[in-house]
């Protein structure tokens, strides 16, 4: 089973967008997918509530209140969305359950500064140092004409975190999310360019 935590303590960095997209992509692969939400705002859960019933099913991962419950047996992929200001003991608990962490980051100075301590904390965790948990980052809401992703990749190097994908800024995300859908749920002709951007991220998750 693949268990993936999506985390960045900076609010609005794209955690719920990334969580819902990952869950949705796997749902189309005839994979049993669970989506969990540690956030009191319940963005991912609210999205799941709106998901049209004719689309491939994504199961709710009931997390529990204190310890994070392991995803039920039989699930193949479990995605865990997390809130802003996430870190410390909560991060440690989550790292006991997952085997991958993906960090969505907006490539702007404020966003980089805001997650610096979190990245350092993550890199020092035993599970990460022992490579029991793999970590990667994704640049979110990128202006394709900017060189911000290169700067972000350079920033991440100090933590030995690879930048595995770059997702451009487009209204399509909001338009699909509000309908309980993702870009992967749209007809292929509408969004090929944007869907392609997710490919390296999916490949990374699929790696053994
Ligand atoms: N690639 C994108 N293009 C355009 N808008 C985007 C993109 N990715 C995310 N957004 C928008 O950015 C906002 C923040 O995204 P999201 O809610 O996923 O972040 P978050 O990290 O989960 O926020 P929070 O910390 O509040 O939980 C949302 O309005 C979302 O629709
Ligand atoms: Mg969120």
CATH of 2-206, one of 2.102.10.10, 3.40.50.300, 3.40.640.10, 3.20.20.70: 3.40.50.300
Going by C-alpha positions, the residue among 88, 116, 83 that lies closest to residue 6 is 83
- Walk along the chain (208 residues) and give the pLDDT tens digit of each residue: 999 999 999 999 999 999 999 999 999 998 899 999 999 999 999 999 999 999 999 999 998 777 788 888 889 999 999 999 999 999 999 999 999 999 999 999 999 999 999 999 999 999 999 999 999 999 999 998 999 999 999 999 999 999 999 999 999 999 999 999 999 999 887 789 999 999 999 999 999 7
Query: Which residue's structure tokens are 């268990």?
Result: 3
Does ligand 1 lie within 6 Å of residue 11's CB atom? Answer: yes
What is the pLDDT at residue 94? Answer: 94
Does ligand 1 lie within 6 Å of residue 167's CB atom? Answer: yes
Longest C-alpha distance within the chain, in Å? 45
Q: How far is the CA of 126 from the centre of ligand 1 (A)?
A: 30
> Between the CA of residue 158 and those of 61, 85, 116, what are the distances in Å?
34, 22, 10
Q: Whose CA is nearest to atom 13 of ligand 1?
A: 12
pLDDT in tens, 78-134: 999 999 999 999 999 999 999 999 999 999 999 999 999 999 999 999 999 999 999
Domain boundaries, the chain: 2-206
């Amino acid at each position: 089973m693949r268990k993936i935590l999506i985390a960045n303590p900076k609010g609005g960095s794209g955690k719920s967008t990334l969580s819902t997209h990952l869950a949705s992509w796997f749902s189309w692969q005839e994979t049993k997918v669970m989506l969990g939400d540690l956030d009191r705002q319940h963005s991912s859960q609210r999205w799941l509530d709106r998901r049209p019933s004719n689309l491939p099913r994504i199961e709710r991962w009931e997390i529990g209140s204190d310890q994070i419950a392991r995803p039920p047996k039989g699930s193949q992929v479990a995605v865990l969305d997390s809130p802003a200001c996430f870190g410390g003991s909560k991060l440690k608990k989550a790292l006991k359950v997952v085997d991958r962490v993906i960090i969505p980051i907006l490539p702007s100075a404020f966003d980089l500064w805001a997650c610096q301590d979190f990245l350092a904390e993550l890199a020092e965790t035993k599970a990460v140092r022992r490579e029991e948990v793999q970590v990667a980052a994704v640049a979110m809401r990128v202006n394709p004409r900017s060189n911000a992703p290169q700067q972000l990749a350079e920033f991440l190097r100090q933590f030995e975190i690879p930048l595995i994908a770059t997702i451009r800024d487009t209204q399509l995300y909001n338009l699909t999310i509000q309908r309980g859908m993702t870009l992967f749920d749209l007809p292929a002709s509408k969004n090929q360019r944007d869907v392609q951007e997710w490919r390296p991220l999916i490949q990374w998750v699929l790696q053994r």
